[in-house]
Structure 1
Amino acid sequence: MKKILQELINGNITMEEAEKKLKTMQIEELGDFAKIDTGRDLRTGFPEAILAEGKDDQDLIKIIQGCAKRGRVMVTRLEEDRYHNIKDEINFIQNKSLKVEYNRKARILLLKDGEIEKRGKIGIITAGTSDIPVAEEARIVAEEAGCEVLTSYDVGVAGIHRLFSKIRWMLEEDVKAIIVVAGMEGALPSVVAGLVDVPVVGVPTSVGYGVGKGGFTALNAMLQSCAPGIAVVNIDNGFGAAIFAATVIKQRIK
């Protein structure tokens, strides 16, 4: 917006051209297969992320290229083999000021232009080691949203003695929200919510077997929790949990 207004002030474009650009600046079209929401950061506080699933490699590269023109880029649910398929072209097309980082567990690709200033703290806890990939997705997204993240993994109810010192540590560090990631029976968010005075975001994972297969048992358990103060996101949705927690924190530290 500043660039368009400066062009108008400098006499490089007419008033009508400036009006047209301002009306269309929030959507950038890439052929007939993608429309980049360039104004999402201003509207919601977090820029559009690129979901890799369902896109072929060449379309994905073009979308990354379009987003990289404006700065930082996040690609989610990008499997490691696909990253290796496109990484050479990513390195070629990237804005020279952007650094490429790929997290295998979180399945996230970042093109970064330096570190983001951190304001507010989020805690992330997992019930088991198998839940870590979803927690890592939440961690990276929360950090990209400008939050400092404290993590403690594999502290579920099967060995609940491991949990209490980690909860105390996070509260002493003044976390403003805690994301709790759990599969199987999904009990951990209820336990945590009964111990803390900050919002708890429950993330059910698809880790489980028998009636727990696919994560629906964990999801239903979290939705049915008798501990107040829990928000629940979709199965394996570390991204959504992080954005929700970061939004809560921004409201609390204004």
Structure 2
Amino acid sequence: MLGFIGAGSMGSAIMRGVLSTGRFNADNVVASTAHPQHAAALAEELGITAASSNTELLRLAGPGSIIIVAVKPHLIGTVLDEIRSEAAAQHTVIVSVAAGTPLSLLASHLEPGQPLIRTMPNIAAAVGQSMTAICANEYVADSQREAVTDVFRAVGVVIPLAEEHFATFSAIAGCSLAFTYEYIDALARGAVKNGLPKSQAVEIATQAVLGAAQLLQSRIAQGATPASLADSVQSPGGTTVAGVTAMDDAGFSAAVVRGVQAAIDRDRALQG
């Protein structure tokens, strides 16, 4: 069984992704939310089971289930305290998607020996394109780790990652979505400045960025790098190299590196 405590944008995206792949049948998925009417609406829409409380969810999910705790970081300690005893009794695997919340902190709200997995998906899970990192404590069996990995493969790509790198991962796989949206919007503003309607400019820029990412992804195995592909579209004296040079003069690359570092520093500060 698969349980979801919290069904906001991230929890519901994972839930829908898992159901769409058939990895779990709706009969084997149970959810609880802070607002029971939300869980009831999801149950009616998706055919899953709605639990009236978090502890009831664990009982309904039963022994050996996977419980994904998809609540805000400032709430996760309270939720884990609430389900602590039941999670141990049911031999469940607890999975966190909370940013900036290390395994040690999560474990402090659970019984000793509790199997615990930390993940870091991003909001592209809503369209099956998440980049998710995963790490586990020593009590997680290989079969449990693989089962949880399969859940997140339903909404994108999954990589195992040492927890010490989670802050960096969060910056380049989570925060970077906002950076990318800002970049697309800036491209569109440049086009609007020259007479193109904003909606059309956004559509054009979005497809261009999507195409660039997919082209790079398709050629990485052949040794391509972002720099080599950038060089391949810069003809001597051409428009592209003029634009790249102007962006470099304005500090584009340095600003991106600073943004990544600021995100990493903030993540580490939140962990204390």
If asked which structure has higher relative contact order (CA below 8 Å, sep 6+), I would say 2
Relative to the length of structure 2, the TM-score reads 0.28
Which has the larger strand fraction? Answer: 1
Relative to the length of structure 1, the TM-score reads 0.29
